[in-house]
Amino acid sequence: MAAVIETVELKKNYGKHEAVRGLNLSVQAGSVCAFLGQNGAGKTTTIKMLLGMVHPSSGTGSVFGRRIDNENDSLLIRQKVAFVAEDKRLYDYMTVEEIVRFTKTFFPRWNHDFERRLMEQFDLPPKRKIRELSKGMRTKLALLLGFARGCELLILDEPTEGLDPVAVEDVLQIVVSMTAEGTTVFFSSHQIVEVEQIADHVLMIDRGQLVMDAPMDQVKEQYRHIQAVFPDPVDERDFRLPGIETIQAKGCAVSLVASHNVDSILEHVHMLRATNVDVVPLSLKEIFLGKVKARS
């Protein structure tokens, strides 16, 4: 499979602040890739660099094989990419149908059927002025404008912010339909559960650095929380093994998070004569919190 997005040692400094610190990303064609991180982790800066809206301080990157730091290339990138930003800037003085009509004149591949389907599904009022739309309606309108333009890569920055659960499910369903059409989706979010539902690859970023890059199924199959109780008090040093991400020892009990190598870890635990061992899978949210906390 070909990489749609690729970056090499991508960096961005704002004065002394290092927003992005050497990112090496690779997003495969046809995947739904989740880009997770806390607020201020560098997600939006990264996306803006991919779209040529922010110039990298160093490092390089490409989208569809075109360089993100070259102006002509960047133009070609933007023809193939739809981007729905967090702030959803729209022309407030237009009505819903005016902005739809206005936007589609720029895109020869505009999907009219999709536009009609979304107008109906999202229940958007065609005659209402954008300034009079609720936050949820605004988000849906911005998504419609992004979805209907016929793109090969869809970049979403916190797409479901401000939407109620029904609308969130609508949005996810449309992302699914677009994936079925072959669109690659790069999806920044801190709504971990919705990401878990549709993403097949997870990138996790913390303070400008990548802390996880793995297929979703692999994450689910390999991450385990192990709790063991021993006859005598144990020390954290007894559990420094490959694959162990965090260790918490308290008296005779220990609580471990393993990212891989679970079988050998369990063997080790049994060798230390554990009297009780519990192994449970972890949700992506627990893994995320663990990663972020372990680093701070």
Site residues for another protein per CB under 8 A: 30-32, 169, 172-173, 176-177, 179-180, 192-194, 196-200, 216-217, 220-221, 223-224, 262-263, 266, 277-285
Taking the least distance from each CB to another protein, the nearer of 13 and 255 is 255
Q: Which residue shows structure tokens 């040529």?
A: 52
CB of 187 vs another protein, minimal distance in Å: 11
CB of 192 to another protein, least distance (A): 8
User: Which C-beta is closer to another protein: that of 32 or that of 203?
Assistant: 32
Is residue 45 exposed (0-12), middle (13-18) or buried (19+ Cβ within 10 Å)?
Answer: buried
Distances (CA, A) of 67 to 116, 150, 187: 35, 22, 21
From 296, 217, 284, select the one nearest 257 (Cα to Cα).
284
Closer residue to another protein in complex, CB, 180/237: 180
Q: Which is nearer to another protein, 78 or 260 (CB)?
A: 260
Give whichever of 31 and 44 is closer to another protein, judged by the CB atom.
31
Q: Is the Cβ of residue 132 or residue 181 nearer to another protein in the bound state?
A: 181
Least spacing, CB of residue 96 vs another protein, in Å = 25
Tokens of 86: 């967090």
Least distance from C-beta 62 to another protein, angstroms?
23
Taking the complex as a whole, how short is the minimal distance between the CB of residue 264 and another protein, in angstroms?
A: 11
For another protein, the closer CB: 24 or 261: 261
Task: Output the smallest distance, CB 273 to another protein, in A.
Answer: 17
CB 262 → another protein: shortest distance, Å?
6
